[in-house]
């Protein structure tokens, strides 16, 4: 199961917000997270580390949606782009 989302790198109204494109892949049968591709100018490099840990831990998408990621308006929206992508994948599996 594959899902693509386009979201913003920072909270609404923060200057310098740019687009982030995320393609998340999960196993439809088991719900296990299989991989994620991210492209963007801001915020991609530090976010991909959360996916690396999830993959190393063999985490399922549902478990990942419950991850408590830090929130700071200058660095990310209320719903982190990775959680937005994971929630969309979860709806499809």
Domains of the chain plus CATH, in order, are 2-92 (3.30.390.30)
pTM, to two decimals: 0.90
Give per-residue pLDDT as tens, 4-35.
Answer: 999 999 887 788 889 999 999 999 999 999 99
Question: Which residues contact residue 4 at a Cβ distance below 8 angstroms, ignoring those fewer than 6 apart?
Answer: 21, 22, 23
Give per-residue pLDDT as tens, 36-53.
Answer: 999 999 889 989 999 999
- The confidence score (pLDDT) of residue 40 equals 95
């Amino acid at each position: 199961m594959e899902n693509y989302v386009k979201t913003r790198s920072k909270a609404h109204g923060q200057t310098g917000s740019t687009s982030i494109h995320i393609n998340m892949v999960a196993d439809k049968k088991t719900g296990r997270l299989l991989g994620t591709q991210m492209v963007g100018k801001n915020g991609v490099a530090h976010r991909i580390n959360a996916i690396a840990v999830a993959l190393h831990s063999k985490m399922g998408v549902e478990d990942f949606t419950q991850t408590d990621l830090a929130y700071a308006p200058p660095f990310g929206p209320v719903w982190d782009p990775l959680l937005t992508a994971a929630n969309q994948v979860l709806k499809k599996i």
